[in-house]
Each structure stands twice: as C-alpha cells, then as structure tokens.
Amino acid sequence: MTGLEEAMRVSLRAWYFSSTVDLKKVRERFMEFPVLHADPLIIDLAQGRRVIITNFGAVVFWPFDEALARLVVGRIRETLDDPTLVEEVEDRLQVDVSHEQQKVLFNEVWLPGEPSLDQVRIIANLLAQSVALEYLEREVDAALQRFLPYLRELHENGRVRISTRKILRMIGFLGQTRHAVLANLTLFDKPDATWESESLEQLYKSLFDMFDLPERQEAIERKLQFLADSTSNLFDFLSTRNSLRLEWVVVILIAMELVAFVLYEVWR
C-alpha cells in the first residue's frame, strides 16, 4: 500500500475501560489539545489524529497508533477510580475516503472525501457502543459458564452445593450489568444531525445495522433474564432447604428436652 493509499484509508480501533468515565476530568488532562466536541469527548491530537472518549468507558482512536493510544490511555487512567483497561476487548473499523459515494460494508466505511465532525461522531459513537456490548457479551457468557455447573448438579443429583454468598454475588452482577445496559448503552436514538441530513441518516442506519446493536442487546437481556430466573430458583431452593434444616433442629431440640425430662423423672 502506497503512502497516498494509507492516507486515504485509516484504521479505527475501540478499546474499553471497565468503569464509567468523567469526561470533564479527562478533558483537564488534555488541555494542550483542541476539543472538537464535548460529549462524546473528541480531542484533536494533531496531524489528523483524533481520540473519541465516551462516558461509558469506550475510547476510539482515529486512526489507531499503538504508541499514541498507550499515552492517551495513561492520561485517562489518572482520572478513573478503576483504571482497568479490558485488553481482551476491542473493535475495529476501516474508513476509506477515496470513494465517490458513501457506503457501509462489513467492518468498512466508504466516504467521498475527508469526514465531517458529524460523520466522525456517528461512526465513532457506534463503534464505541459496539465494543461496550462486546465487553458485556463476554461478561455475561462467562457468568453463564460459571453458573451452569450448579444447574447441572441440581438436575443430575437433585441437590446442589452452592453458598448463599455466591448467589448474592450473582444477584449483584446481574444488577450491575443491567444498569450498564440500560443506563449506558440505550443510546440508540438518532443524533440530531441525522434529522437535517439524509446522508448522515443513511450512514447512521447502515452502521447501526452492520453492528447489530439492538439484536446484541436483546441477546444480552435474554441471558440476563435466564440467569435472574435461575438465581431466583436456586435462592428459593436454598431458603426452603435451610428452613427445613431449622425445623429439624427445632424438632431435635424438643426431642432432646423430652428425653432429658423423662430421664430426670426416671432417675429422680
């Protein structure tokens, strides 16, 4: 690929922090660079390099450069309570500005010339939502894998060895994940700019469909509901078992008192 071709075709990459981001604090860490937009925070790093930072933890590099990305991540980390960058999660997209017409292919966007700020916002925000969903997909799938052995044990043996603490931790995970889905990722309303431009609306719709955002969110919700139902059933099972144990303890204590009383009467 020639230098001109490289300039016309850029690779975007989205990374993900496992915590929400305070965009005002992040902005203070990049005071020497122009800010192109406040939310999502779009910072011009010079020479056509931009970073797009969302409040739900996704960061998009336009274009991606490993060394520069690490420097940016280092500054963002300084503002976070939980600075964990989820290395296993990322999403990628190619943007080619050498075409005469706008078009969205699989993991590729064609644009007729350099992108406008509105185009950058739409492309980057949808890519950011995609990587955030990927993180949640992995987390929910991992939770399912951890939980299924208990259901299998209950099915095969009619009993299960699981502590109440583990069930409560699962309930906490479900609540936290649902909050992330509802509060951070239900951002699928079309940007205001799409109402004024047919081209921007088409770009948004095409990328929206390409990333399968609603379908993926629904799949996460179904898995969360399955986990919630299973957790509730296990909790009820354990509660019933503990109640029976308590009843047996009471019966045994009463029996012991009766035996003690009888022995006392016999030997008195």
The pLDDT tens digits for 197-212 are 889 999 999 999 999 9
> CATH number of the domain at 3-112, out of 3.30.310, 3.30.450, 1.10.760, 3.40.109?
3.30.310
> What integer pLDDT is reported at residue 259 of this predicted model?
46
> What integer pLDDT is reported at residue 191 of this predicted model?
77
| Rounded mean pLDDT, 84-96 | 93
Tens-place pLDDT, residues 146-195: 878 877 877 777 766 766 677 667 777 777 777 677 655 555 567 778 88
**Cα–Cα distance measured from residue 4 to residue 142, given in angstroms and rounded to the nearest whole number:** 44
**Cα–Cα distance measured from residue 120 to residue 129, given in angstroms and rounded to the nearest whole number:** 14
Sequence spans of domains, the chain = 3-112, 124-267
**Cα–Cα distance measured from residue 69 to residue 11, given in angstroms and rounded to the nearest whole number:** 13
> What integer pLDDT is reported at residue 180 of this predicted model?
73
Hey, which bits of the chain come out as E strands?
Answer: 9-16, 35-37, 41-44, 50-53, 58-62, 91-96, 98-105, 108-112
> What integer pLDDT is reported at residue 256 of this predicted model?
53
Report the range of poorest mean pLDDT among 62-66, 88-92, 158-162: 158-162
**Cα–Cα distance measured from residue 93 to residue 107, given in angstroms and rounded to the nearest whole number:** 5
Q: Nearest Cα to 136, choosing from 180, 170, 90, 194?
A: 180
Report the range of poorest mean pLDDT among 13-17, 63-67, 127-131, 227-231: 227-231
Mean residue pLDDT of the chain comes to 81
With pLDDT > 90 as the criterion, what percentage of the chain qualifies?
A: 43
> What integer pLDDT is reported at residue 98 of this predicted model?
86
* pLDDT band, very low/low/confident/very high, at 251 (cuts 50, 70, 90): very low
**Cα–Cα distance measured from residue 61 to residue 165, given in angstroms and rounded to the nearest whole number:** 41
Which span out of 140-144, 181-185, 237-241 was modeled with the highest average pLDDT?
140-144
With pLDDT > 70 as the criterion, what percentage of the chain qualifies?
A: 79
| Rounded mean pLDDT, 130-156 | 84
Q: Model pTM?
A: 0.81
Q: Nearest Cα to 213, choosing from 132, 111, 109, 124?
A: 132
Coil, strand or helix at 258: helix
* pLDDT band, very low/low/confident/very high, at 36 (cuts 50, 70, 90): very high
